[in-house]
Amino acid sequence: MKNKTNYEYLLSDLNSLKGVGIKTQNLLKKKNINNLFDLLWKLPKSYTDRSLSSKIKDLKIGENQTVTIVPQKYNFPRIRKLPNRVLCRDETGEIDCVFFNSYEGYIKKILPLGKEITLSGKIGHFRNKYQLTNPKYVSEDSTLIKKVHNKYSLTEGISEKIYNKIINQIISNLPNLNEWHSSYILNKFGHITWNQAIKELHRPENIGKYKDNFYQRLAFDEIFSTFLVNSEIRKKIRKAKKKSKSINIKNQNSIIDKLEFKLTKDQNKALHEINTDLNSTNKMFRLLQGDVGSGKTIVSLIAALNTINSGFQVAFMAPTEILARQHYNLAKKIFSETKKIKIISGKSEYKEKKEILKNLENNKVDIIFGTHAIFQKKVLFNKLGLIIIDEQHKFGVNQRKKLSDKGGPDCDVLLMTATPIPRTLTMTIYGDMDISIIREKPKNRKPIKTYSKLESKIDDILKFISKEINLGNQIFWVCPLIEESKKLDHSSAIKKFEFLKKKYPNQVGLLHGKTDIEEKEKILNDFLNRKFQILVSTTIIEVGIDFPNANVIIIENANKFGLSQLHQLRGRVGRGNKDSTCILMLKNNLSENAKKRINILKKTNDGFIVSEEDMKIRGFGDVLGFKQSGIKNFKLADPIHNSDLFLIAEKEMRRIEDSKENIAKFKPLIKLYDRADIINDIA
């Protein structure tokens, strides 16, 4: 095993380690540690220095210390509950070694009378004598104990001693892998090899040295492996040839000219990039990223129209039926009557649904709107040319690839998200895609004024609401939970609805996750048609819904939400031409992080700045407000602290792509860090 020189040793099963049985394997697997490589990232959090030996007279009570003694006398009481004791001495004094639940044979084996033994542990004191209870480190060979021992965040059931033994075993057998990086990259990290870097990473004196070359090299490897996988996926998608769509700019411009607003520079640029892809013989695999209310939907619908005019069908998928219907209504408004537009929803009659599906298969439907149901096996297209997916953050790399394949040989894919994320994170999550960004807001959009108010000042808020209602405006009131919880001090939507209903009779509606789909749609339509003025809701209104007459949003317990989520909620207002307001209701005792989040929102309406700050506060793993299935779970790298490494990796990736360098030499790197099925055929 020791002479093995390839990466396969690192991907060996845990049972290849000496002293690791089924029980230890199962405990490690519960922590998602499945092979030797996974164990390397279980880093020491601190260490205990057992290298210095003390005499008995110099021992300090309560500290971990190492001492060399000679066992003198056994005391094995016949009463079961009493501990076994061994009296030990050195030339300066006496100490008792105390054992609970240990057999006499074991004690005699590790502490033979008259032999010089080194042991280490926490020193105690009992009846005017030093004592050491259940010492974990005991040996006749003092060199095995007189070391610096790493301390780990232990998996329950595995001792520190076993952890050290396991990890030291792997490190002493580390293979010398062939270098995969160019000399230019290695020069940035002092030419340290992967093998050396791992060894340095586990030295106790290096704990927390995140800026040192060994740590930076290993963080770069993680980042670069992700970029390599994304690059391979991009290549595979681009290899797939398709029929190009012919874009009739004259037809496109006649639609744009009829809109009630002018497209921004960013919208025009994004549309041009999408049209170029549609017109190409390579498949489009593009993300349209834009802030809340930046006008992504209109860009995607114009692209859909261009696709239809080229003789292809379009599928438009939204996360909710409400949003799907909103897009459907907008399409009906801007498309000519000659276009056959349909929507499939949960409440569609069976007969109607059957007819839509039949027409879809017979090319009698140009564009269909719906939720994920439009990609079920029974839904067949005649000539699908474009798939548009709105707000599908949870689609990971593999899911996106499958979607692209499912669309057929001539199908382009456009994903949209209103969750602006920092560039380093975009490169990681969406690195397999081309990206268009809309930063600019439409000219008629006024910035939303954001204020914070203590809950105790609710009377001031109610006065403000009464004034807004008298002006004919509508209000969102958002609460974190549906019902009261004894554990969490959150206000409930139901309770708030009852409270506001008394203040404003017949002017308040309620919406939450338990409202069924039909009722939900009715409530939202009634709100849109101004049948009531205040909508009390949970975060169900977070994504994409457009209510131009709503210009006030009140968010209770605002400190309980992440920054990006608060920004998304705030984006529900400010869609008309009136001044808009967001009020963040807070309790008195805010944490420092909560104060930071609130102040950022009050200072800026720019979602890209908000998400950058959010990532600094919360870390990249949860910046989207939920566990993202497509996100890379880095072991060492961090998109905020290692942004320089991301940029170096991006530059190196472009160099490799431009030079058409064979990436076979990177196979060990990809196999170790990503184990991506999608790149199994790399030579």
pLDDT band at 406 (very low <50, low <70, confident <90, very high): low
Complete DSSP assignment for 188-244: HTTT--HHHHHHHHT-GGGTT-TTSHHHHHHHHHHHHHHHHHHHHHHHHHHHSB-PP
Residue 403: per-residue pLDDT = 64
Q: Stretch 453-460: mean pLDDT, rounded? A: 89
pLDDT over threshold 60, residue 467: yes
Tell me which residue of 435, 399, 400, 402 sits closest to 417, measured CA to CA: 435
Reduced to 3 DSSP states, what percent helix, strand and coil does the chain have, rounded to the nearest 5? 40, 20, 40
pLDDT, tens digit, 9 for 90 and up, residues 490-549: 457 888 888 998 989 989 988 876 777 677 778 888 888 889 999 998 776 656 567 778
Residue 592: per-residue pLDDT = 78
Residue 489: per-residue pLDDT = 44
Least confident of 110-119, 183-192, 290-299, 509-518: 509-518
pLDDT over threshold 90, residue 98: yes
Q: How far is CA 609 from the centre of its chain?
A: 18
pLDDT, tens digit, 9 for 90 and up, residues 621-668: 444 433 343 445 678 887 777 888 989 998 999 899 888 888 888 888
Residue 239: per-residue pLDDT = 78
Q: Stretch 476-482: mean pLDDT, rounded? A: 78
Residue 20: per-residue pLDDT = 84
Contact 14, 34 (CB under 8 A): yes
Return the sign of the alpha-carbon dihedral for residues 470, 473, 474, 480.
negative
**pLDDT: which is higher, 419 or 105:** 105
Q: What distance in Å separates the CA atoms of residue 424 and residue 640, rounded to the nearest whole number? A: 8
Within 13 Å of residue 591, how many CA atoms lie on the same side as its CB?
9
Query: Among 445-449, 456-460, 491-495, which range has the highest average pLDDT?
Result: 456-460
pLDDT over threshold 90, residue 218: yes
**What proportion of the chain, given as a percentage, has pLDDT over 70?**
87
564 sits in which H/E element: helix 563-570
Report strand pairing: 117-126 vs 129-133. Answer: antiparallel
Model pTM score? 0.68
Residue 151: per-residue pLDDT = 66
pLDDT, tens digit, 9 for 90 and up, residues 39-91: 888 777 666 677 778 899 989 898 888 899 999 999 999 887 889 999 999 99
Residue 224: per-residue pLDDT = 92
pLDDT, tens digit, 9 for 90 and up, residues 346-370: 666 778 888 988 999 899 999 999 8
Least confident of 6-15, 59-68, 140-149, 270-279: 140-149
Q: What distance in Å separates the CA atoms of residue 211 and residue 189, rounded to the nearest whole number? A: 10
Structure tokens at 309: 């005019």
What domains can you pick out in the chain, each with its CATH number?
A: 1-45+158-176 (1.10.150), 51-146 (2.40.50.140), 177-239+642-683 (no CATH), 249-438 (3.40.50.300), 449-604 (3.40.50.300)
Residue 609: per-residue pLDDT = 82
Please tell me what DSSP assigns to residue 251.
H
pLDDT, tens digit, 9 for 90 and up, residues 263-309: 889 999 999 999 999 999 988 889 898 877 788 899 999 999 999 99
**pLDDT: which is higher, 150 or 538:** 538
pLDDT, tens digit, 9 for 90 and up, residues 232-275: 877 877 777 889 999 888 888 888 888 888 888 999 999 999 99
Residue 87: per-residue pLDDT = 95
Structure tokens at 332: 């009906």
Q: Which residues pair with 90 in a beta bridge?
A: 93
pLDDT, tens digit, 9 for 90 and up, residues 388-404: 988 765 555 566 666 66
Mean pLDDT estimate for the chain: 83
Structure tokens at 11: 């991907």
Structure tokens at 209: 């040295």
Q: Stretch 198-219: mean pLDDT, rounded? A: 88
Residue 491: per-residue pLDDT = 55
Q: Stretch 318-324: mean pLDDT, rounded? A: 81
pLDDT over threshold 70, residue 377: yes
pLDDT over threshold 60, residue 142: yes
Q: What distance in Å separates the CA atoms of residue 38 and residue 31, rounded to the nearest whole number? A: 10
Q: Which residues contact 116 (CB under 8 A, 6 or more apart)?
A: 68, 69, 70, 140
Helix (H, G, I), strand (E, B) or coil at 253: helix
pLDDT, tens digit, 9 for 90 and up, residues 555-603: 988 887 777 788 888 888 877 777 889 999 888 777 777 888 888 889 8
Structure tokens at 202: 């586990």
Complete DSSP assignment for 619-669: -GGGTTSS--TTS---SS--TTTTHHHHHHHHHHHHHHHHHT--GGGGHHH
Residue 680: per-residue pLDDT = 58
**pLDDT: which is higher, 216 or 615:** 216
Residue 191: per-residue pLDDT = 94
Within 13 Å of residue 140, how many CA atoms lie on the same side as its CB?
9
